[in-house]
Amino acid sequence: MQGKIGLEEHFALEETVMDSAGFAPETHWPELRARLLDIHERRLREMDANGMAMMLLSLNAPAVQAIPDTDRACEVARRANDFLAEQVARRPDRFQGLAALPMQDPERAARELERCVQDLGFKGALVNGFSQVGDPHTAVYYDLPRYRPFWATVEALGAPFYLHPRNPLPADARIYDGHPWLLGPTWGFGQETAVHALRLMCSGLFDAYPGLAIILGHMGEGLPYSMWRIDNRNAWIETPPRYPARRRIAEYFRENFYLTTSGNFRTQTLIDAILEVGADRILFSTDWPFENVDHAARWFDSASISERDREKIGRTNAVELFGLAPLLGG
């Protein structure tokens, strides 16, 4: 398929690139590092060779979220966003931006998002899970009441918010002791991000701000497969769930969430996601440079779905969600 658009596609600054070093063996680090720091050379060639019209770019992980000092988190986010805006300005037909946000301070995060959307023309935000705030051992999640004004700004701007994975802190990762291979993309990323997304759904956030659009990668971090059980539980006991939200979790999942194919190139999984949330809420992505564009494209272009769904997932859902039509040639 020609004209595909991807929205979980990462770059790095020299000052954040080492955050990705643990996710490749030493033998592959020089290659991964070069891929992260490149925007206009190798990346564009990969896109051209594999029918990708556009990438929405975002900073690597965990980057800003792992900087406990709020002033420094704000500075790095601002530098990353300014750098990204310059890159997008060189090829706005091929690249658009998702903002990095200093979530350590909800008020400053909201102001940075406003700046990115209104002044820099960014299409939304991508945040790498919880933030460490004040000290490196404190993990703060965005369902907390202090974030409500931030979410009001996100809704008012109409900016989609991509909740991207990071690993849990060591104190919250004891279940993985002795099994480090389960951290990262193997399992830990998905588990961490799925729980964060469920916290948002249970908290009543989407009752207060029904216009929010949250994006999850990796075909929904396992959530589509669990959605029925989360609401049903052991139904014969008939105890209503005790959470602040007014509706069933699956209703928020279907109305406030979008899923991407990033790093999860599996037709069985895609079809399950289509059955749970519908083809209108799934979007193509590769997770470059951690995954290969050709692996994603070759799988997606021949996956056993209808051509109408391929067109939606590959392109038109993103055009609509981010308002990309005026930017895309032909």
Contact flag: residue 291 with Mn ion (CB under 5 A): no
Output 146 or 266, the one with its CB closest to Mn ion: 266
Output 19 or 155, the one with its CB closest to Mn ion: 19
Which listed range, 5-13, 99-107, 166-174, 321-329, lies at the site for Mn ion (CB under 5 A)? 5-13
Contact flag: residue 155 with Mn ion (CB under 5 A): no
| Count of CB atoms situated within 10 Å of the CB of 299 | 15
Q: Tell the smallest beta-carbon distance from residue 8 to Mn ion (Å).
A: 5
Round to whole Å and give the CA distance between 295 and 293.
5
Collect all residues with Cβ–Cβ distance below 8 Å to 56 and sequence separation of at least 6: 5, 6, 7, 9, 95, 96, 97, 98, 123, 124, 318, 322
And the tokens for 177? 């002791």
Output 4 or 108, the one with its CB closest to Mn ion: 4
Q: How far apart are the first and last CA of the chain?
A: 15
Q: Tell the smallest beta-carbon distance from residue 22 to Mn ion (Å).
A: 14
Which listed range, 6-14, 20-28, 113-121, 173-181, lies at the site for Mn ion (CB under 5 A)? 6-14
Residues 235-274: x/- map of binding to Mn ion (CB under 5 A)?
----------------------------------------
Contact flag: residue 19 with Mn ion (CB under 5 A): no
CA 114 to chain CA mean position, Å? 19
Of 219, 317, 318, whose CA–CA distance to 270 is shortest? 219
DSSP type of residue 122: -
Contact flag: residue 221 with Mn ion (CB under 5 A): no
DSSP string, 41-58: SHHHHHHHHTTEEEEEEE
Contact flag: residue 287 with Mn ion (CB under 5 A): yes
Which member of 287, 294, 301, 309 is catalytic?
287
Binding-site residue total for Mn ion (CB under 5 A)?
Answer: 2
Is residue 287 flagged as an active site residue? Answer: yes
Output 192 or 287, the one with its CB closest to Mn ion: 287
Q: Tell the smallest beta-carbon distance from residue 224 to Mn ion (Å).
A: 18
Which listed range, 4-12, 105-113, 143-151, 303-311, lies at the site for Mn ion (CB under 5 A)? 4-12
Q: Tell the smallest beta-carbon distance from residue 259 to Mn ion (Å).
A: 13
Q: Tell the smallest beta-carbon distance from residue 244 to Mn ion (Å).
A: 30
Helix (H) or strand (E) segment spanning residue 107: helix 106-114
Output 158 or 184, the one with its CB closest to Mn ion: 184
Which listed range, 7-15, 25-33, 155-163, 196-204, lies at the site for Mn ion (CB under 5 A)? 7-15
The order of strands in the sheet holding 282-283 is 4-11, 52-59, 95-99, 124-127, 161-163, 214-216, 257-260, 282-283
CB-count burial class (<10 Å; 0-12, 13-18, 19+) for 128: buried
Which listed range, 26-34, 40-48, 287-295, 299-307, lies at the site for Mn ion (CB under 5 A)? 287-295
Contact flag: residue 143 with Mn ion (CB under 5 A): no
Output 276 or 287, the one with its CB closest to Mn ion: 287
Are the beta carbons of 282 and 218 closer than 8 angstroms?
no
Q: Tell the smallest beta-carbon distance from residue 262 to Mn ion (Å).
A: 6
DSSP type of residue 231: H
Are the beta carbons of 308 and 317 closer than 8 angstroms?
no
Catalytic residues: 287
The residue ranges that bind Mn ion (CB under 5 A) are 8, 287
